[in-house]
């Protein structure tokens, strides 16, 4: 039997890791428990992965916690998730400050319940000076929605005469996304056995290495995270070039 991966087996640490945390509902259903039971166990995985990422030196970690499409779920599940998020933020603030983790938010915060927004704002403000790792929570987030908001902001500047449309380029669009100023994800992980992006970081993931695992999110802990990082370390990133060009 192969022993599990350790920090020493990881040849290169990705600067930015993004994760689609899928499988909470199925994990709970397999145990004849309500879906929220799976989300609660998922919060423990969030804690474990944030801690492991910080420990190993990942600089940006982006977690897809709630998509624009997730609003369509039963009201009870939506409010349960919002409650878990608020409790998580309140409980983690001290640890985040101790570990130098800065909280940031991607998505339409204005759609979130007032109490969650207030808690997010408080934690973001208090951790603004942290420099160890940025934790992006994607909340009420959709990649297409994010791009539309960026395009609208640019169009408004053009109409107002602040910007010449001929100067528009990729860099300028990227600077109007929720991830402005952050590097694109090097590694994008999806748990839960599905092989799709589900409207996550559509612009930013252009050259991300993709890693899919059957493991349901509540079972994805430090060991599984290190395995994903070790796999990433064995990949050759060519960015459209040939292998020979990279060696030369
Ligand atoms: C997808 O699983 C997961 C979600 C929609 C929510 C993820 C939320 C958490 C892990 C907990 C709260 C987050 C934080 C940051 C504290 P699913 O419900 O779609 O699973 P399924 O595909 O098995 O139904």
Mutate to test the pocket of ligand 1, among 18, 20, 25 (most ligand atoms within 8 A of CB): 25
- Residue 96 has, within 13 A of its CA and on its CB side, a CA count of 26
Would you say the CB of residue 36 lies under 6 angstroms from ligand 1? no
CA distance 142 to 112: 14
Would you say the CB of residue 49 lies under 6 angstroms from ligand 1? no
Atom number of ligand 1 nearest to Cα 70: 5
Would you say the CB of residue 126 lies under 6 angstroms from ligand 1? no
First to last CA, the chain: 38
* 9 alpha carbon – ligand 1 mean position (Å): 29
* 101 alpha carbon – ligand 1 mean position (Å): 22
Judging by beta carbons within 10 Å of its beta carbon (0-12, 13-18, 19+), is residue 123 exposed, middle or buried? buried
Q: What is the DSSP letter of 177?
A: S
- What is the CATH T-level fold of the domain 11-141+185-231, as seen in this structure? Undecaprenyl pyrophosphate synthetase (3.40.1180)
pLDDT per position in the chain (248 positions), as tens? 455 788 877 889 999 999 999 999 999 999 999 999 999 999 999 999 999 999 999 999 999 999 999 999 999 999 999 999 999 999 999 999 999 999 999 999 999 999 999 999 999 999 999 999 999 999 999 999 999 999 999 999 999 999 999 999 999 999 999 999 999 999 999 999 999 999 999 999 999 999 999 999 999 999 999 999 999 998 876 677 777 767 76
Catalytic residue annotation? 22, 70
Q: Is the pTM of this model over 0.85?
A: yes
* 218 alpha carbon – ligand 1 mean position (Å): 9
Rounded CA Rg of the chain: 19
Mutate to test the pocket of ligand 1, among 27, 65, 76 (most ligand atoms within 8 A of CB): 65
Per domain, the residue ranges of the chain are: 11-141+185-231
CB atoms < 10 A from the CB of 147, how many? 15
* 39 alpha carbon – ligand 1 mean position (Å): 5
CA distance 160 to 213: 47
Nearest to 222, CA basis, from 71, 49, 8? 49
Would you say the CB of residue 88 lies under 6 angstroms from ligand 1? yes
Would you say the CB of residue 190 lies under 6 angstroms from ligand 1? no
CA distance 227 to 5: 6
CA distance 155 to 160: 9
Nearest to 106, CA basis, from 7, 55, 178? 178
What are the distances in angstroms from CA 124 to CA 10, 51, 79, 136? 31, 18, 22, 10
- Do 119 and 47 contact (CB within 8 A), yes or no? no
List of residues 6+ apart from 36 with CB closer than 8 A: 28, 76, 77, 80, 81, 84
Mutate to test the pocket of ligand 1, among 18, 22, 50 (most ligand atoms within 8 A of CB): 22
Q: What is the DSSP letter of 146?
A: H
């Amino acid at each position: 039997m192969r022993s599990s991966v350790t920090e020493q087996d990881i040849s290169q640490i990705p600067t930015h890791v993004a994760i689609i945390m899928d499988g909470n509902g199925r994990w709970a259903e397999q145990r004849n428990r309500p879906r929220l039971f799976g989300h609660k166990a998922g919060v423990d995985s969030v804690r474990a992965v944030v801690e492991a990422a910080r420990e190993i030196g990942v600089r940006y970690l982006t977690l897809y916690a709630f998509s624009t499409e997730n609003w369509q779920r039963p009201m009870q599940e939506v409010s349960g998730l919002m409650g878990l998020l608020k409790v998580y933020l309140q409980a983690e603030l001290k640890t985040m400050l101790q570990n130098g983790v800065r909280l940031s938010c991607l998505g339409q915060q204005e759609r979130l319940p007032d109490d969650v927004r207030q808690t997010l704002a408080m934690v973001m403000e208090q951790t603004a000076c942290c420099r160890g790792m940025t934790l992006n929570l994607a909340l009420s987030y959709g990649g297409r929605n994010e791009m539309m908001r960026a395009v609208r902001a640019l169009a408004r500047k053009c109409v107002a005469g602040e910007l010449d449309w001929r100067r528009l380029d990729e860099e300028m669009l990227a600077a109007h996304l929720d991830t402005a100023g952050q590097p694109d994800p090097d590694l994008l992980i999806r748990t839960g056995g599905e092989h799709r992006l589900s409207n996550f970081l559509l612009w930013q993931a252009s050259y991300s290495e993709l890693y899919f695992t059957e493991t349901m999110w509540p079972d994805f802990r430090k060991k599984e995270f290190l395995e994903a990082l070790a796999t990433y370390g064995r990949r050759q990133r060519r960015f459209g070039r040939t292998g020979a060009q990279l060696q030369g």
